[in-house]
Amino acid sequence: MSQIEYTNVMDTPNPSGSDAGLSGSSLLSDIDTPADLRLLELQDLPALAQELRDFLIDSVSKTGGHLAAGLGTVELTIALHYVFNTPDDRLVWDVGHQTYPHKILTGRRDALHTIRQSGGLCGFPTRDESEFDTFGVGHSSTSISAALGMAAAAAEQKISREVIAVIGDGAMSAGMAFEALNNGGELDANLLVILNDNEMSISSNVGGMSNYLARIMSGRTYSKARQGSKSILSRMGPMWKLAKRTEEHMKGMIMPGTLFEELGFNYIGPIDGHDINTLVKTLQNMQQLEGPRFLHVITRKGKGYAPAEADPCTYHGVSPFDIETGESIKPPSAVPGYSSIFGQWLCDMAEQDERLAGITPAMSEGSGMVEFSERFPDRYYDVGIAEQHAVTFAAGMAVDGMKPVVAIYSTFLQRAYDQLIHDVALQNLPVVFAIDRAGLVGADGPTHAGAFDLSFLRCIPNMTIMAPSDGNECRKMLTTAYGMETPAAVRYPRGSGPAVEIGPDLDQIEIGKANVRREGRHIAILAFGSMVHTALEAAEELNASVIDMRFVKPLDETLILKLALENDLLVTLEENTIKGGAGSAVAEFLAASQVVTPLLQLGLPDEFIEHGDTATLHAECGLDPAGVTKAIRNVLPANLARSTEYA
């Protein structure tokens, strides 16, 4: 592969034409806080932006992490911290993929090499990490609501402060964002919302004229004239209505802000998000205004790194890579991942049944749906970042004869819980939920962990829940779920499972039937999904029986009763919180059956598990073979503990 274009700031003339800050040391190395940043001259900022971009590329190439989004917000991040008095002024980021530049400028530059690693920096803003991280994020479309709450709190306490929410165009598509905008306009809150438009421009009016108009309309003269005419004309009834309509019409002709104006925001933009001079001057102007303000900024994901600009989706989240070639350093897994297995099953089933429809809330690539979208475009629905809508949309399709399959991450299904209960389960509709990223997700941390789905799903009537122990089981369970006429969920972890042969057939399994994987003595481990192979390793040392439970709901109650009568200890093992999970289901059944057999429940503890290497996190939670073995030995009945068989 030929080398890609990569330019280092030290090899490039100073864009400002000045040598300030570049003689002897870099600008970036002297910035430990935004207060240091604000000591720079405006003409130094383009050079700083280049340094920051180079530093980001170099660091992420070694650690992996989110890259393209951060590259697109370098200039915006600098401008925000340059203009506003952070952290006293509140800066709220949406999702957080774009915040690596923010972390670098707020005292965490020298720790960026630890990002997403055990004990290192979190990949998202978190309040425990820095006072500059004003609100913990990870899920989409929360920034405007949180910032509005902060603005309301400041108003109640009579604190003079700017509150700024930065949200992307994808996140803006979610209903929650518009709920917050509607409320913000109604409250007349002192709030600045910045739309970072980096994918699908609302308007093409970007360039010199647009930047000029934005600066004029954000300035004091225009604002005073606007407010003055509003004060006078508002007393004149029909004249005010005419003037208002005229203003909206004129704005609508040259810029796309009519919608936001109708919601009560003073819309400015769109402007070039990589023109740092325009950014700073526009923000300075808007800083002087009060009330709800909306700035529309156009940026480019992956800006400054050719491979990321060409393919921002691939470089959204990356493993360590070679800067010169753009190629990943990590060798690809020989075992297909669960997302890939789901994607292949989806295509195979779609060939067999034209009623199948595939639905995703903006996670096509991550969920393995790219091939399906290309082969069956008429039956592929990407509804955007709108999990609630995705679930009810699927329910509507199911009502009228389609067989919808909703591909969704466990952590994002939480956002559609009401719709899951009210619109799908209550009506007992045949919607299949392919739940990806169940259990711990490693570097993405607690905001993305699928730690609760078994707990919140199993309490819902009409719901069937399956957990595969490998890729072949996953394919069979998806087929089984699809064949049902009631709601069904198949939850599987991130990445790959054990190396097994995956058959091409669309076979089903018996509903509610577990599979005995190992015959032992005295101890029976009831393992669910990803924990089956951990149980098998532990069982070798303990001579325990291992059961691949397959189903969380309905349980194989006949087998559980048999095992309870034949063994001295039952152990449940799951990659879900212990509270209310699969083990709790077993305990409830035993109690209802009035069967008294010692039961040990192993799973994720009652706490949020931080980011890090997945294997390390499993070990820390006692969910590796050694941890499972130790936990079982600690509770063995006295007669077994003394046995040489378990010594």
Among the options 108, 116, 301, 550, which is catalytic? 301
Name the pTM for this structure. Answer: 0.86
Q: What is the pLDDT of residues 303-346, one digit of tens each?
A: 999 999 999 988 999 999 999 999 999 888 889 999 999 999 99
pLDDT at 234: 54
What is the reported pLDDT for 332? 80
Confidence of residue 2 (pLDDT cuts 50, 70, 90): very low
For residue 301, pLDDT over 80 is answered with yes
- Report the pLDDT value the prediction gives residue 204, as an integer from 0 to 100: 39
Amino acid, single-letter form, for residue 373: S
Judged by DSSP in three states, 395 sits in: helix
Classify 501 as helix, strand or coil: coil
Is 301 within 8 Å of 72 (Cβ atoms)? yes
521 as an active site residue: the answer is no
Closest Cα to residue 395, out of 381, 406, 379, 385?
A: 406
Contact 62, 122 (CB under 8 A): no
C-alpha distances (whole Å) from 135 to each of 130, 210, 218, 439 are: 10, 32, 27, 24
Q: Which of 129, 80, 120, 73 is nearest to 98 (CA)?
A: 73
Q: Is 597 exposed, middle or buried (0-12, 13-18, 19+ CB in 10 A)?
A: middle
DSSP states of 37-98: HTTS-GGGHHHHHHHHHHHHHHHHHHH-EE-HHHHHTHHHHHHHHHHS-TTTSEEEESSSTT
| Active-site annotation holder among 403, 415, 437, 476 | 415
The DSSP string of 430-481 is --EEEEES-B--GGG-TTT-B-SHHHHHHTSTT-EEE--SSHHHHHHHHHHH
The sign of the CA dihedral 300, 305, 311, 313 is negative
Tens-digit pLDDT profile for residues 605-625: 999 999 999 999 999 999 999
Query: What pLDDT is attached to residue 215?
Result: 56
Over residues 373-380, the mean pLDDT reads 97
Token code pair at residue 393? 């949309």
Find all residues with CB under 8 Å of 29, minimum gap 6, and list them.
Answer: none
Q: How many C-beta atoms surround the C-beta of residue 130 within 10 A?
A: 17
The pLDDT score that the predictor gives to residue 228 is: 54
Is the pLDDT at 647 greater than 80, yes or no? no
Phi first, then psi, for residue 394 (nearest 5°) are: -65, -40
The model's pLDDT over 511-556, given as tens digits with 9 standing for 90+, comes to 999 999 999 999 999 999 999 999 999 999 999 999 999 999 999 9
* Average pLDDT score over the chain: 89
Is 112:100 a contact under the CB 8 Å cutoff? Answer: yes
Distances (CA, A) of 289 to 141, 149, 151, 162, 400: 25, 19, 14, 10, 51
| Out of 17-21, 222-226, 313-317, 352-356, least confident range | 17-21
Q: Is the pLDDT of residue 4 over 70?
A: no
Task: Assess whether 491 carries a catalytic annotation.
Answer: no
pLDDT tens per residue across span 437-493: 999 999 999 999 999 999 999 999 999 999 999 999 999 999 999 999 999 999 999
Neighbours of 300 (CB within 10 A): 17
pLDDT value of residue 224: 56
What are the tens digits of pLDDT across the range 244-288? 555 555 455 445 677 888 899 999 989 999 999 999 999 999 999
Residue 285: per-residue pLDDT:
96
Q: What is the pLDDT of residue 170?
A: 87
pLDDT, residue 117, reads 94
Condensed to tens digits (0 to 9), the pLDDT of residues 125-142 reads: 999 999 999 999 999 999
Per-residue confidence band for 25, with pLDDT thresholds at 50, 70 and 90:
low
Output the pLDDT for position 258: 79
The Cβ of residue 632 has, within 10 Å, a number of other Cβ atoms equal to 23
C-alpha closest to that of 434 among 340, 532, 527:
340
Q: Span 101-123, mean pLDDT?
A: 96
Give 397-416 pLDDT, tens digit per residue.
999 999 999 999 999 999 99
- The percentage of residues in the chain with a pLDDT greater than 70, rounded to a whole number, is 86
Q: Does the active-site annotation cover 519? A: no
Q: Which of 51, 162, 261, 387 is catalytic?
A: 387
Distance, in Å, from the CA atom of 328 to the CA atom of 495, rounded to the nearest integer, reads: 16
- Local confidence band at 645 (pLDDT 50, 70, 90 cut-offs): low
For 328, the 3-state DSSP assignment is strand
Q: According to the model, what pLDDT value does residue 201 have?
A: 34
What is the H or E stretch that residue 344 is in? helix 338-352
